A and B are shown apart, each in its own frame.
Chain A
Amino acid sequence: MPAFQPTANQFRAFRDDPHDGPIAQVNLLKFRVKAEYQPEDPEFGTEEPGAAAYQRYADAFADAAADVGGHCLLMGHAERYFIGNGDWDAVMVMHFPNRQAFIATLNHRNYQDMHRHRDAGLLCQDLITTRPSARET
């Protein structure tokens, strides 16, 4: 099932996980072919790919994450599948000192202003919370 947000249960499971160490959020992303801003958005009517809109979100999100010790490990464009088959357009991995820092980024004062870019650019995604190996911590 293509998904866009955590379910209530997924969010609770993330928040209530007692693991208190570093996490890496692995985003598997599928973009809209064309960005779809809403009439109230300043960008409404601009002709651009969904990937360009999402990149604005990714940049703003990384800035907000930096306030709580988070950072982007990698943002990459998916060229093709060498093994298996899927349909993701991009892979983004974000590192956080703990899960509270990720939640704080979602609650950042700038989040309300940035998430229109995610809405406009993103079709669906998987978000996989992992424990990073020691070298990235």
Chain B
Amino acid sequence: MAAITPTPEQTAGFLGRDQDASIVMVNLLKFKETATYAEGTAEFNETLSGAEAYMRYGVEVAKILASIGAKQLFAGTLPHFMIGDGDWDMVALVRYPSRAAMIAMTQSDAYQAIHHHREAGLAHQDLIEVTELFSADQAA
């Protein structure tokens, strides 16, 4: 099932795990062909692609991530499947200092103020919770 938000069960599962543990979230992203801003918003009359709308979210969320001590580890664009046959447009990895910090961010006013760009641009995504076995920036 294509989704852009967690199900209630997925949210409960996330909240049921160690809230103090740092976590890497792997975003597999698929954008809309055309952004779908709501009528009456400033962006409604711009002709933006879904990718362009999501990039507006990306620029703003990067500032919020920095302010809570989260780190974007990686973003990869123009994907080609060398093995397998999925259909993603972008891959992004973000390390949060804790699960609690991620939840707090999504509930913050600053995040709520930019979330419409994500909704306008994103067709669907997978978001995979990953514990690090190795990462280059921590090995360095």
Contact = CB atoms under 8 A, between A and B. Distances in A.
Contact of B26 (A4, A13, A76, A131): A76
Interface of A: 1-6, 10-11, 13-14, 17, 24-26, 28, 55, 71-86, 88, 90-91, 93, 95, 124-133, 135-136
Nearest to B136: A73
Interface residues on B, range: 35 or more
By secondary structure, the A interface counts as strand
Contacts of B83: 3-6, 10, 125-127
14 contacts: A75-B135, A76-B132, A77-B131, A77-B133, A78-B26, A78-B129, A82-B128, A82-B129, A83-B6, A83-B127, A90-B130, A91-B128, A128-B88, A130-B77
A132 B75 contact: yes
A74 to B, nearest CB: 5
B25 interface: yes
Contact of A72 (B76, B84, B128, B134): B134
